[in-house]
Amino acid sequence: MLALGFFAPRFAAETAPTVFIALAVLTVVFGVGVVVVGRRRSSPAETVEAVQTTVETVGTTSVRERLAKARATMSGAIATALTRSSITDETWDELEESLLRADLGVATTTRVLQPLRGLVASKKITEPSQLVATLKDEMRGQLDKGPRKLNFDDSLQAPNIWLVVGVNGAGKTTTIGKLGAQQRKLGRSVLMAAGDTFRAAAGDQLQTWAQRSGSDFVRGAQGGDPSSVIFDGVARATAKKIDLVLADTAGRLQNNSNLMEELAKVRRVADKGEGKVTEVLLVIDATTGQNGLTQAVQFSEATQVTGVVLTKLDGSSKGGIVFAIESELGIPIKLVGLGETIDDLVEFDADEFVDALFV
Amino acid sequence: MFENLSDRLGGVLKGLRNRGRLTAADVEEVLLEVRTALLEADVNVAVVRDVIDKIRQNSVGATASTALNPGQQVIKIVNDQLVAMLGGETLKITYAGQPPTVVLLAGLQGSGKTTSAAKLAGWFKSQGRQPLLVGADLQRPAAVEQLRVLGAQLNVPVFSEPGDPVATAKSGLAEAKRIGRDVLIVDTAGRLAIDAEMMQQVKEISSAVQPKFTFLVVDAMTGQDAVTVAQAFDSTLSIDGVIMSKLDGDARGGAALSVKHVLGKPIAFASTGEKLDAFEQFHPDRMASRILGMGDMLTLIEQAEKVFEKEKAEVAAAKMLEGEFTLEDFLEQLQQLKKMGSLQSVMGMMPGVPKELKNAEIPDDQLKRTEAIIFSMTPQERAKPELINGSRRVRISKGSGTTVADVNRLVKQFGEMKKMMKQMGNKGGRGGKGSKMGGVNDDLAAALGSRLGPR
């Protein structure tokens, strides 16, 4: 109540009646029965069902190699920590700072450092380099939440559907463009469905990618129903015996409940036709801070996310929030975007990612 | 997902509620919580350090206030500090003596430049100017097409030509002069701050059009790296101000504080929604409480203001305080409330609501059921719920497809609410209307807190 008590006087004169009424109405409604049906589902790791997966080979560029360029000029607090001869309070501060700077977040940072404090206290670890190595091992060990291969069910007599979701500007359309081109190279036939009917010219953007990669393309009217665009896409793909439908969706902020409901519907409708959703990819921009965790929770709830695509990792951001997403929510990171060309979308490598966090 | 500062401080301050003054040790404990809150809001680590130092200095010198308890005092100090750091000099939009006034937008990929360019054009139009948009993002497929569609929606012309972005920008400037537009807004491709070649290109665009204002577009969800990015763009382009995009999300938006702090340049505009007019000048005070996780109350107020018709609400509030509020009035207000979105989101915005309740699933059909019950009542019953006897209850429950227990509960809760409101009306009745409302707000909040608290 502190917050309201503190802020109320300022707004009282102008806005009190409206808020007052809103609050009063709520008391009655909730009084009528706050029916707690149950906690929100929080098992985002739950995958679409076990499907027979085949190995997906995506780009082969080494993440480390690509990141080396970005990070060459950077020297973190970790470098200072490693120059010390023993583990001091400063060492811990430096470790903490380097994790926080990588966007791991306070809770996750505390969680990964905690067990190490015991090891240092009991003199099992005495050298800073040993400490950092153990920390890395520990962190790698936590990135073990399921297969990173993209689910493609060969036995399916209908198209596999990969649905791509995320907030505005995360890089969904570009990811589909690259993913489609790679799948074409693997010999699969691909149809791209422009489920982003909201953003102006998003369909045109995807169409360009479809043309470049020789994929089929389905779009609807601007402002039309995204579910039906994707449903049509699946129907067309089924008729033409196309292997894979890549379904784009409009970017949306996860606190916009109407748009999240719309997305949940897209997910349900996509499964209604002949095809089957075998992958729901949440695209997260590497510059994203702590809000990424909320994104993962909310999008999973709406669409049962099966994997994360971390985009724009070729910049100076480290994308540490996905460590929290995989280690705490259990959603595996599947792909990493490292640049603007088609080959710049590569399979996530936990070892290289953890190393890069500390560079 | 994250606790707000007041919840967070709750535990620490419980022990000192009744003491008038904070000791140095209290302050340190409190600062630790403030630090965590700022980090969870994505304020850069180095900036957090500076903020905490300043707050420490201010707290030590602060004298005990009789009006505020220690907790409120701390929050006030923190809040004031953030407002001071976020605000300061505001950006004054002035116009070039020789039109057009050129505005250049730059930023990372996906930060929201194209949408911001269009929204900014709309803003200039609302200021009585005649903008021309230039699409110099020739990189992303269909970026220019996107700008054209948005321009058409705003009835603002858009210029672009394929080939070289620098040349396009230059031609755009010539075009603005030719057709007599007095503001030129140049949208550029997203680029990484560490991409030397692309940074060179945007520098060339800048020298070609000589912008009066260069804005960096920063996504409100940006994490720690916001500082690095802002510095890099500033050293290349000499930024005049920042546009925060996607502020309609639920990110705390600490990036705003980080960027403001390291650049010392004002945050000029905030983009707050999907619609093209959801673009406004930046409010440092709202941002401060948002970073501290206490902006939800403001959002609730804003949303309530948007959907509730103020006069009707005032009449209803007055009736409530007089104890003359009927179920008919209630129904009307309930229907207004429905426009605010799902109950879940409204609950999420209410301060003091326990976390368990915020995360609990509240079926929106609860509202429908409440409505259905009232719909099944006669006008007389709605005006005088005390008329509702046993047989009427059965009829109402049958009519609304609910149970007698549901009807009972509604009638009972309504009665209690009415009583509560009336008591408040009596208590606050001495002051003028405005002050009465203020008091009521507090009391109601307290009452709500206890009602919604764990039972």
Nearest to A290 among B42, B421, B446 (CB): B42
Q: Which amino acid is present at A279? A: E
CA B228/CA B230 separation, integer angstroms: 6
Which spans in B131-275 are helix H?
143-154, 165-179, 196-209, 226-237, 254-263
What pLDDT does A120 receive?
94
Mean pLDDT of B289-316: 68
Residue B2: how many other CB atoms lie within 10 Å? 21
Nearest to B266 by CA among B239, B285, B235, B241: B241
How high does pLDDT run on average in chain A?
83
What pLDDT does B90 receive?
79
CB contact under 8 A, B246 and A103: no
B203 pLDDT exceeds 90? yes
If pLDDT is split at 50, 70 and 90, which confidence band does B350 have? low
The pLDDT tens digits of the residues spanning A22-34 come to: 666 766 665 432 3
Q: At A173, which helix (H) or strand (E)?
A: helix A172-185
The secondary structure of residue B93, as a DSSP letter, is: P
Which residue in A10, A14, A18 has the most chain B C-beta atoms within 10 A of its own C-beta, making it the best mutation to test that interface?
A18
A12 pLDDT exceeds 60? no
Q: With an 8 Å Cβ cutoff, is A129 touching chain B?
A: no
Q: With an 8 Å Cβ cutoff, is A255 touching chain B?
A: yes
Mean pLDDT of A60-75: 51
Q: With an 8 Å Cβ cutoff, is B251 touching chain A?
A: yes
| pTM of the predicted model as reported, rounded to 2 decimal places | 0.76
Length of chain B: 455
CB contact under 8 A, A2 and B75: yes
Identify the structural domains of chain B with CATH numbers, from first to last. 5-86 (1.20.120.140), 101-289 (3.40.50.300), 298-452 (1.10.260.30)
Rg (CA), chain B: 27
Length of chain A: 359
> How close A152 comes to chain B (CA, Å)?
28
What pLDDT does B319 receive?
78
CB contact under 8 A, B142 and A170: no
Nearest to A32 among B249, B342, B370 (CB): B370
CB contact under 8 A, A257 and B345: yes
A5-41: b (≥16 Cβ within 10 Å) or e? bbbbeebbeebbbbbbbbbbbbbbbbbbbbeeeeeee
**Helix or strand or coil: residue B289?**
helix
In chain B, the largest separation of any two C-alpha atoms, in whole Å, equals 82
The pLDDT tens digits of the residues spanning B226-260 come to: 999 999 999 999 999 999 999 988 898 999 999 99
Q: Which of A32-46, A162-176, B262-276 has the lowest mean pLDDT?
A: A32-46
CB contact under 8 A, A201 and B146: yes
Question: In the sheet that B101-106 helps form, which strands lie side by side, from edge to edge?
Answer: B158-159, B131-136, B183-188, B101-106, B213-219, B241-245, B267-271, B279-281
Identify the structural domains of chain A with CATH numbers, from first to last. 74-142 (1.20.120.140), 160-357 (3.40.50.300)
Instruction: Report CA torsion sign: B89, B94, B97, B98.
Output: positive
Contact A267, A304 (CB under 8 A): yes
If pLDDT is split at 50, 70 and 90, which confidence band does A194 have? very high
Contact A168, B246 (CB under 8 A): yes
If pLDDT is split at 50, 70 and 90, which confidence band does B214 have? very high
Which residues does B369 contact at the CB level (< 8 Å), separation at least 6?
A: A32, B400, B402, B406
Which residues does B80 contact at the CB level (< 8 Å), separation at least 6?
A: B58
> How close B135 comes to chain A (CA, Å)?
13
Restricting to B residues 318-357, those with a Cβ less than 8 Å away from any Cβ of A are: 320, 330, 333-334, 336-337, 340-347, 350-352, 357
Contact B22, B30 (CB under 8 A): yes
Residue B10: how many other CB atoms lie within 10 Å? 17
Q: Which of A237-251, A270-284, B81-95 has the lowest mean pLDDT?
A: B81-95
A283 pLDDT exceeds 80? yes
What pLDDT does A73 receive?
39
CA A86/CA A129 separation, integer angstroms: 9
Mean pLDDT of A28-48: 35
Of the ranges A340-349, B168-177, B284-293, B356-365, the best mean pLDDT one: B168-177
Residues of A in contact with B360 (CB under 8 A): 34, 36-40
